[in-house]
Amino acid sequence: MAVVFYFSGTGNSLDVAKQVAAVFPNCRLESMARYIAQPYCIQDDVMGFVCPVYCFDLPPLVQKFIAVLQANPKYCFGLVTMGGNQGRALKHMQLLLAKKEIQLDYADAIIMPDNFFVTPPAKARSMLIEADQKLQSILTYLHKRKQDTTQCEEKTLWKYGGVALGWWYMRNILNIEKLELDFSKCISCGKCVKVCPVGNITMQDGKPVSGNQCATCFACVRWCPKHALKLGGKGASDKKNYVNPNINIQELFSQEAK
C-alpha cells in the first residue's frame, strides 16, 4: 500500500501528485491540510509528499504536517514544485523527517509556472511541457524505488539567514497574509471559501472574510472568477494570472481541513 500527501494552491503540486500516485498500486492521494486536522498512524510501505516551495523553503503548513506525521515507511520520497529556486526546501524536508526517524530516500524539484510572480502564458505553456518531461523521468525513478537525495544539498545563503530574511520581507513589507477584497467585483460565488485549504475564509453577509490562518497558497486570489481578491497587495487580472490547466477548482475543494 502507498500514500501520496499533497498541498497545492494553484494545482501544480496536485497535478504532479496525481501522476505520482498512479505509479504505485493501491495508492491513496491525501491532503496534508486534512491530515493535520485529523492525524492518524500511517501503515503504508511507500509514502510520498508533493508541495510547492514558498520563500526558498517548505511552506509552514508542510512543516506543521511533518511535525504531526506518524509513519514508518520502507520507501519515502519528497517532490517540490517551484518557479525556479527551491533554496533549502528539500533539505528542510529531509531534516524534519529525520527528526521523526523517517529516512528520505528520493527528493527532487520540478520547475513549473510561478503562481506568485506570475509567469506569462506563453512561457507557462513551454514550462509545463518541460516540467512534464522531467516528471516522466521522476516517475521511472520512483517506480524503481531509486535512492537519491543529492537535491537536498543546501547552499550557504539559505543555511545562514536567507530564508528568514525572505519570510521577514514577505510578512512585514509585503504583508503576505493580508487578504483584501474588492467589493465592487465580488459576485458572492463562495469559490474562495471552498478552495481555501485551511478554512481561512468564511462568508459573512454574502462576502468573504479572512481569518488569521492564511497559508499564503494564493488559491483564493488565482481561482476567483472575478479577480476580486489580493493577497499582500498582489492580485490577478485576465492578462496576469496562473492556475494549472490540468486541474479544475473542484479537485482542490477536497483539500480543505474538515
Chain residues binding ligand FMN by CB under 6 A are 8-13, 52-56, 81-85, 87, 112, 114-116, 216-218, 244
Residue 12, contacted partner among ligand SF4, ligand FMN, none, CB below 5-8 A by kind: ligand FMN
Q: Is 9 in the site for ligand SF4 (CB under 6 A)?
A: yes
Q: Is 16 in the site for ligand SF4 (CB under 6 A)?
A: no
Instruction: Find the part of the chain contacting ligand SF4 (CB under 6 A) among 38-46, 87-95, 133-141, 187-195.
Output: 187-195
Instruction: Provide the CA 222 distance to its chain's centre, in angstroms.
Output: 14
Determine how β-strand 46-52 pairs with β-strand 2-6. parallel
In which element (H, E) is residue 184 found?
A: none
Q: Which of 69, 89, 228, 257 binds ligand SF4 (CB under 6 A)?
A: 228
Q: Within a 10 A sphere around the Cβ of 255, how many other Cβ atoms? A: 23
Measure the CA–CA gap between 103 and 107, rounded to whole angstroms.
11
Residue 46, contacted partner among ligand FMN, ligand SF4, none, CB below 5-8 A by kind: none
DSSP 8-class letter at 88: T
Instruction: Provide the CA 173 distance to its chain's centre, in angstroms.
Output: 23
Q: Which of 86, 94, 149, 216 binds ligand SF4 (CB under 6 A)?
A: 216
Residue 244, contacted partner among ligand FMN, ligand SF4, none, CB below 5-8 A by kind: ligand FMN
DSSP 8-class letter at 119: P
Query: Roughly how many angstroms between the first and final C-alpha of the chain, as a whole number?
Result: 24
Residue 179, contacted partner among ligand SF4, ligand FMN, none, CB below 5-8 A by kind: ligand SF4
CB of 81 to ligand SF4, least distance (A): 16
Residue 96, contacted partner among ligand FMN, ligand SF4, none, CB below 5-8 A by kind: none
| Grid coordinates given for 28 | 491513496
Q: Which of 21, 47, 89, 224 binds ligand SF4 (CB under 6 A)?
A: 224
Q: Which of 51, 198, 252, 257 binds ligand SF4 (CB under 6 A)?
A: 198
Q: Which of 148, 187, 245, 248 binds ligand SF4 (CB under 6 A)?
A: 187
Cβ pair 149, 104 in contact under 8 A: yes
Q: Which of 48, 83, 208, 232 binds ligand SF4 (CB under 6 A)?
A: 208
Measure the CA–CA gap between 249 and 184, rounded to whole angstroms.
23
Measure the CA–CA gap between 216 and 178, rounded to whole angstroms.
9
Measure the CA–CA gap between 177 and 237, rounded to whole angstroms.
20
